[in-house]
Structure 1
Amino acid sequence: MKTILAAYSGVLRGTGSSILSALQDLPSASWLSRSKLEKQLQVISVLQWILTFLVLGATCTVALIYMFCTDCWIIAAMYTAWLIFDWNTPKEGGRRSSWVRNWTVWTYFRDYFPIRLVKTHNLLPNRNYVFGYHPHGIFCFGAFCNFGTEATGFSKKFPGIKPSLATLAGNFRMPVLRDYLMSGGICPVNRNSIDYILSHSGTGNAVIIVVGGSAESLDCTPGMNVVTLKNRKGFVKLALQKGADLVPVYSFGENEVYKQVIFEEGSRWRMAQRRLQKLLGFAPCLFHGRGLFSADSWGFVPYCKTITTIVGEPITVPKIEEPSQEVLDQYHAMYVRSLTKLFDKYKTRFGLKESDILLIQ
């Protein structure tokens, strides 16, 4: 067991070769075969990211407050002072780390589903881009793996383009979690942060926005091809104001990794979900996946379903500081058509039927 833990520690640090040497030291046992061990490492890699997203920020906040009541208060005070000094960094381009983005743990994360990134067109480094990512899913596994890490080779497929995945601004108010997110090139999904990336960082920047947000996650379940987009025009207005090209992105399989109870619109439970979504900033979904040790049990581990992310053709956008409603509607309609075309072109290649349609609400 110590050998396994040491090997996984090496994977987290990006020294994946240690797992191979550790495997050689393991005793000959059927339950510790290389393939089974790799599968368990994949499960743990996914689970650690889910727990990081759900509890790291809250846990570190409580720990920081507790430290003020102990003999370690000076450490807590120093970190708090640093936090205050560094407070605006997430809004000013963040602090990405190529080392963290290339951790070997992300390759295990990728291979668990697996997750793939498909390039359909070249992106010019002398332009900036706003990617619209669809659908949200429960945890945005495809968005994180493809744009928050280098596990699927984004930088090799799109040389000269620097991706910045936008997520809830509240995550960047949490100690430690904020730094962890920034190291992956993740930024707050607010105007100040995105404005800075598209205005003060030259060209070759791509901001990835999960357009449907938490509202869309309420409709994420296997067999559903629904995106919340009809009244989401803020990202189009932002692209026009900054002269950044719009790029539709669709992930086939994102909705397949969890099973969710979908409540009917107008029902008491649906109304409660909507209210909590507005209050908390995220949607409280009733979902389940598989168990940690068995695919036949229920748990928080997602099902092993392939997620294929297709990056579509960029829509050239002019720079208009104050776009009229007519121009805004025009480019939004162009984006919707482009996304629908992308979905229709690739749907049969990834398990959907020719009769399946993309429902835009």
Structure 2
Amino acid sequence: MAIEFAPRSLPLERRLQTLAVLQWVYSFLGLALTCIFLFFALLFTRFWIISVVYGIWWFIDWDTPSKGGRRSKYLQSHVMWRYLRDYFPIKLVKTVDLDPRQNYLMGFHPHGVLVAGGFTNFCTEATGFPELFPGITPYLMLLPLWFRAPFFRDYAMSGGLIPSDKESAGYILKKYKGGQAIVIAVGGAAESLYAQPGTFNVLLKNRKGFIRMAMEHGVSLVPMYSFGENDLFDQVDNPKGSLLRKVQDKLQKAMGVALPLFFARGVFQYSFGLIPYRRPVHTVVGKPIKVPKNSTPSNEEVDKLHQLYMEKLSKLFEAHKTQYNVPADRHLTFL
């Protein structure tokens, strides 16, 4: 196979975009492990005091991720995220206003491989979330596992990430009377195994925990669909029943982390690598679904609201799909 190299004459702007994406991919795939290694490696050097002091701080600060985290305005508004946004590009699309006097539970679909739209729209200010939805503070949920990694936990919190558990979401929804939005990639890590270009699979049929949470707190549900999210990477074919898929499913159930075998382009060439393709992503935020507070919803009540949510998500997809180059005969597939 002939390798297609990037031309030397690329503008500086595009090179900076690629650099921003490279650090973002690394932060997802390798930064946590690097931080863990660094923490223990420092103990065997003359800089051991850094890990010891951090360890004490870590113990004192242990519960902070589940209590709203500790976001950094400086990091969220950093110029590197604008280069990340423009690489694809990624755009946040508002269809209605959100009332800052209320709290929201926003469902992000699909997960994709690395949740590019979710991260860029809700962990950075690059796509203009504060201007589009003034008075609303978003919190993107991340697997609790990653908040057990020294140093990395602080980096994750600086972007407004919180653990994806009921306690962390409940703390925010109970403490604040309005202006808070919990963002959940509902399909989770398992959905990334379905992320193939040109597909519109949503792992939702049996995902009802977020529905029950919305009812218990009486917060509106906001469906979102991120057009182009599944087109950023190719993935080794892994149909249900294949040996690869069986191994991936077992690993996902055992560790909680999916391991899709994905690939796209490289930094200096376009033929192979782990850098995503330059393909547009449009994250469309739908109309809130009002949810009356019900501290003890029955299974039937949860099922009814869950069905309504799927219908609203499907209508959102149908209303915008042709605008984002989805063939008219393609529809969402609920798994």
- Flag whether TM exceeds 0.5 (same fold): yes
What corresponds to 1:306 in structure 2? 280
C-alpha displacement at 1:162, in angstroms? 0.5
The residue that corresponds to 1:196 in the other structure is 171
* AA at the equivalent of 1:214: A
Shift of 1:294: 2.0
Q: In structure 2, how many angstroms separate the alpha carbons of the residues matched to 1:43 and 1:277?
A: 30
Aligned to 1:183: 158
Amino acid at match of 2:74: W
1:322 to 275, 296, 301: 296
* Alignment check: 8 A CA contact 1:243 1:317 kept: yes
What is the alpha-carbon distance in structure 2 between the residues aligned to residue 281 and residue 206 of structure 1? 24
Deviation at residue 71 of structure 1 after TM alignment: 2.0
Partner of 2:14: 39
Q: Name the structure 2 match of 1:258.
A: 233
Which residue is equivalent to 1:276? 251
Distance 2:50 2:234 in 1: 43
Per-residue deviation, residues 14-54 of structure 1 (Å, max 9, x unmatched) = xxxxxxxxxxxxxxxx946xx62111110110110111122
Matched, 1:86 2:61: yes
CA distance in structure 1 between the partners assigned to 2:305 and 2:194 by the alignment = 26
More RCO (CA 8 Å, sep 6+):
2
Using the TM superposition, name which of 116-125 and 275-284 deviates more.
275-284
> Is the partner of 2:289 in helix, strand or coil?
coil
Superimposed CA distance per residue, residues 172-215 of structure 1 (whole angstroms, 9 cap, x where no aligned partner): 11111111111111111011110111111231100000000111
TM-score scaled by length of structure 1: 0.89
SS of 1:198's equivalent in the other structure is: helix
Return the match for 1:49 from 4, 15, 24.
Answer: 24
Q: Equivalent residue for 1:21?
A: none
Rounded Cα–Cα distance in structure 1 between residues aligned with 2:289 and 2:281: 24
Aligned partners of 2:243 and 2:279: how far apart in 1?
32
Match in the other structure for 1:235: 210
Give the C-alpha shift of residue 79 in structure 1.
0.7
Distance 1:286 1:73 in 2: 37
CA contact 1:218–1:262 (8 Å) conserved in 2: no
1:331 Cα deviation (Å)? 0.6
The alignment partner of 1:52 has SS state of helix
Matched with 1:8 is none
Q: Distance in 2 between matches of 1:67 and 1:273?
A: 34
CA–CA separation in structure 1 for the residues paired with 2:62 and 2:254: 24
Q: Percent identity?
A: 47
Shift in Å at residue 66 of structure 1?
A: 1.6
Matched residue count: 329
Moved more, 135-144 or 73-82: 73-82
The answer for the alignment partner of 1:360 in structure 2 is 334
- 1:318 is paired with a residue whose SS is coil
After TM superposition, the structure 1 stretch with the greater mean CA deviation from structure 2, 106-115 or 194-203, is: 194-203
Equivalent position SS for 1:299: coil
Amino acid at match of 1:246: L
2:70 to 87, 95, 101: 95
What amino acid does structure 2 have at the position aligned with 1:68? L
Task: Supply the distance in 2 between the matched residues of 1:338 and 1:170 (Cα, whole angstroms).
Answer: 32
User: 1:77-110: per-residue Cα shift (whole Å, max 9, x none)?
Assistant: 1110001110100000001111111000000000
Looking at structure 2, the residues matched to 261 and 54 of structure 1 have their Cα atoms a distance apart, in angstroms, of 18
Shift of 1:70: 2.0
Aligned twin of 1:208: 183
Gaps of 5+ in 1: 1-29
CA distance in 2, matches of 1:104, 1:357: 37
For residues 175 and 208 of structure 1, what CA distance do their matches in structure 2 show? 24
Q: Please, which runs of 5 or more residues in structure 2 have no aligned partner?
A: 1-6
Q: How far apart are 1:280 and its partner, in Å?
A: 2.1
2:106 aligns to what? 131
TM-score, structure 2 as length reference: 0.96
Please say if residues 219 and 262 of structure 1, whose CA atoms lie closer than 8 Å, have aligned partners that are also in contact: no
- Specify the SS of the correspondent of 1:218: helix
Q: 2:149 aligns with which of 174, 181, 204?
A: 174
